[in-house]
Amino acid sequence: MELDKYVIGVDYGTDSVRAIIVNAANGKEMASSVHYYQRWQKAMFCDAPNNVFRQHPLDYLEGLEITIKDAINKAGGKAIADNVRGISVDTTGSTPIAVDEKGTPLALKPEFENNPNAMFILWKDHTAIKEAAEINEHATKFDVNYLKYVGGIYSSEWFWAKLLHIIRVDEKVRKATYSWVEHCDWIPFVLTGGNDASQIKRSRCAAGHKALWAEEFGGLPPDEFFSTLDPLLAGFASRLFRDTYTSDIAAGTIGAEWAAKLGLPADVKIGVGAFDAHMGAVGGQIEPYYLSKVMGTSTCDILVAPNAEMKDKLVAGICGQVDGSVIPGMAGLEAGQSAFGDTYAWFKNVLSWPINNLLTKSKVIDEGTAEALKNEIFEEIIPELSRQAAMLPIEETNELAIDWFNGRRTPDADQSLKGAVIGLNLGTDAPRFFRAIAEATCFGAKSIVERMIDEGVPVKGLIGIGGVAKKSSFIMQMMADIIGMPIKIHQHVHTCALGAAMFASVVAELHNNVEEAMAAMGGGFDVVYEPNPELSAVYAKRYEQYKGLGEFITFRTRQLEKSVNA
């Protein structure tokens, strides 16, 4: 491989997009840039109490241009840009959108520009709980188990549930829709100058884990499956896709418009996209049977295993297992927690209520001082809570929480479930409360490991990547103690973007395969958290309490549903 050839990895997260420029020879990061979605920052097109989370495609397009141009400028300008050979993209998912025949999102048309139903339905949007339940019930009517490769349970966070919900509730969107496209498929389509929705190269990762695609089915389930679920879906699958592509395949070459816009050569290769955690696992140098945990607003947990060793093994209650969704030639298994960092952010917002609502009205300090004080306190809340919580004794009688603040993703997806905290008393202060919810997120992580092992898939250790993994030694040490396994934290800050850059290097033929790219471009790990064996007994008892409380919450949720529906 020639030296000094560069690739760009673009990582779309929940709140922001980041781009990094990497030397494909050695993985050295030349520059990075982060852009926070402007409309999302203002909570436009969202209704959190009703689980509505939508993002405007302009946020994505603006962020793509801003971050890549900024990173190129920081790295050295034209001298770097002229030697860029590939770009690959990862996104959150399932985050689909309705498009017309040209592949243009409806929200980019004047008549739909302020319609949330015409926008990207973010992964955390749970408005399709009813539709997911219908899909699960409907699937039992068929001799073929079309849910077998998605853990046996379809989720409201996924492609078909969201699609069905939107076309049911919005006739105008339904009539204007030609197809639906995942975010990770749309960005490469845009970069290559695509103008025909039928020509979009669909990601194996997205299609297999969220849209029921399987080689065994010859693609998607047959039209009968969808048309008998709801006549509105009749013929819809034929306008989607049959073939899928792993992310070591090129989606095409950069289009003239975006080459000019970004100042890049006309021969830059654009890779097929994938979800953030899947490319992040590659950036984090995943190994077979190590569970890679991308820990941000939620967690997405990835494990890879040789296809020959998986054979006919199917893991129940996870978010799917798909050949080639992470590393071509291996089965990629996905699990996760619907709220992780979001849980800590929720508690931070609860504690910050008086600061947000009263401080700026103070008659004691001026507005500028109030704003500066508010920002200072915001930055310190979680770090100080972590320091104080770390000093608390670990006892069986401590406050206990369930981490389903945004539903349960794995094991056994159920977005109708809610979080809970018990054992509160007049001595429960903020550090004790925080410790309970942090502990709950770690118990949730343990339940994923336990499910894998129970289903015959060994877990040799954990790899931590993402914001929480890098920032919170308190939570990482607690997780190692609770799961009873070491957690090694990857050294790279933007690990998902690095994974995308690794795929870009393969697409650009700078490396022969993903494994070679990982070996050349991965920087290793900078810290390992070892479990404390002295805490194993008390945490084992606490974990049993956690499972018991979870069973009770599930039981009460079902009772309430029956009461409401009676």
pLDDT tens digits, one per residue of 4-63: 899 999 999 999 999 999 999 999 999 999 999 999 999 999 998 899 999 999 999 999
Specify whether the CB–CB gap between 302 and 328 falls below 8 A.
no
Specify the pLDDT at position 451: 97
DSSP secondary structure string for all residues of 80-111? HHTTEEEEEEEE-SS-EEEE-TT--BGGGSGG
Over residues 362-381, mean pLDDT: 90
Asked whether 541 and 395 are in contact (CB, 8 A), the reply is no
pLDDT single digits (tens) 142-160: 999 999 999 999 999 999 9
Question: Quick one: pLDDT band at residue 359, thresholds 50, 70, 90?
Answer: confident
Reported as a single tens digit per residue, the pLDDT across 440-477 is: 999 999 999 999 999 999 999 999 998 899 999 999 99
Confidence of residue 536 (pLDDT cuts 50, 70, 90): very high
When pLDDT is averaged across residues 349-354 and rounded to a whole number, the result is: 94
Does residue 162 surpass a pLDDT of 50? yes
* Domain at 341-490+532-565, CATH class: alpha beta
Report whether 368 contacts 87 (CB < 8 A).
no
How many CB atoms within 10 Å of residue 27?
A: 22
In the chain, the percentage of residues whose pLDDT exceeds 70 is: 99
Domain ranges in the chain?
6-284+492-526, 341-490+532-565
Burial 333-349 (b: 16+ CB within 10 A, else e): bbbbbbbbbbbbeebee
Give the confidence band of 519 by pLDDT, cuts at 50, 70, 90.
very high
Per the CB < 8 A criterion, the answer to whether 479 and 529 are in contact is yes
CB 314 within 8 A of CB 149: yes
Nearest to 380 by CA among 359, 351, 343: 351
- Report the distance separating Cα 420 and Cα 225, nearest Å: 37
Work out the angle at residue 93's Cα, subtended by the Cα atoms of residues 381 and 255, and round it to the nearest 5 degrees: 115
Least-confidence region, from 39-48, 266-275, 557-566? 557-566
**What CA–CA distance (Å, rounded) separates 173 from 167?**
7
Quote the mean pLDDT of the chain. Answer: 95
Distance of CA 4 to the CA centre of its chain: 32
Is residue 500 pLDDT above 60, yes or no? yes
pLDDT of residue 1: 43
Burial class (CB in 10 A: 0-12, 13-18, 19+), 77: exposed
Residue 257: CB atoms within 10 A of its CB come to 11
Beta-bridged to residue 7, according to DSSP, are 22, 86
| pLDDT at residue 3, rounded to an integer | 53
* pLDDT tens, position by position, 74-83: 999 999 999 9
Same fold, 6-284+492-526 and 341-490+532-565: yes
Q: Residue 393 carries which DSSP code?
A: -
The answer, yes or no, to whether residue 135 has pLDDT greater than 90, is: yes
pLDDT confidence of 361, banded at 50, 70, 90? confident
Task: Note the pLDDT of residue 566.
Answer: 73
In this prediction, residue 360 carries a pLDDT of 81
Give the SS3 label for residue 45.
coil
Q: Check pLDDT > 80 for residue 539.
A: yes
Q: With 0-12 CB in 10 A as exposed, 13-18 as middle and 19+ as buried, what is 132?
A: buried
CATH number, span 6-284+492-526: 3.30.420.40
382-429, pLDDT tens digit by residue? Answer: 999 999 999 999 999 999 999 999 999 999 999 999 999 999 999 999
* Calpha distance 21→33 (Å, rounded): 9
Rounded CA-CA distance 555/552 in Å is 5
In degrees to the nearest 10, what's the CA dihedral of 164, 167, 169, 172? Answer: 170
